[in-house]
Amino acid sequence: MVQPGAAAGSVAGLVEKPAFEQAPSNLASIGRYVLTPDIFEILRGQAPGAGGEIQLADAINTQAAAGQVEAVTLNGQRFDCGSVKGFLQAIMHVAQRDGLV
């Protein structure tokens, strides 16, 4: 989840899979990033996070704390293709949009 910064589009931090009541906003980080090369050095020194894994979100959070992250708000529809239901919804959306059904 995105913790918004003070200025429009700025990101103060990211929180990986917070409990609902601890989420810093209703803005999701949906995993589409343009990364700078220094992210690799941050990842090399990153301690394991959620699930005992090294999390990209934690490394991006390090960059956000340094004022190096900006956000773009999606203006459209998003589907969770990591679930069967979301995947099927995406397929049906495209099929209906293209007049296939």
Residue pLDDT, tens place only, 23-34: 999 998 887 899
Q: Which residues contact 88 (CB under 8 A, 6 or more apart)?
A: none
Q: Has this prediction a pTM greater than 0.85?
A: no
Q: How far is it between the farthest Cα atoms of the chain?
A: 50
The answer on 6 and 48 residing in a single domain is yes
Residues 58 and 18 in one domain: yes
Q: What is the pLDDT of residues 41-68, one digit of tens each?
A: 999 999 998 788 898 988 999 999 999 9
Residue whose entry in the numeric block shows the structure tokens 């343009």: 34
The total of structural domains in the chain comes to 2
Judge if 43 and 83 occupy the same domain.
no
User: Do residues 18 and 39 both lie within one domain?
Assistant: yes
User: Are residues 8 and 36 located together in one domain of the fold?
Assistant: yes
What is the residue range of 92's domain? 76-101
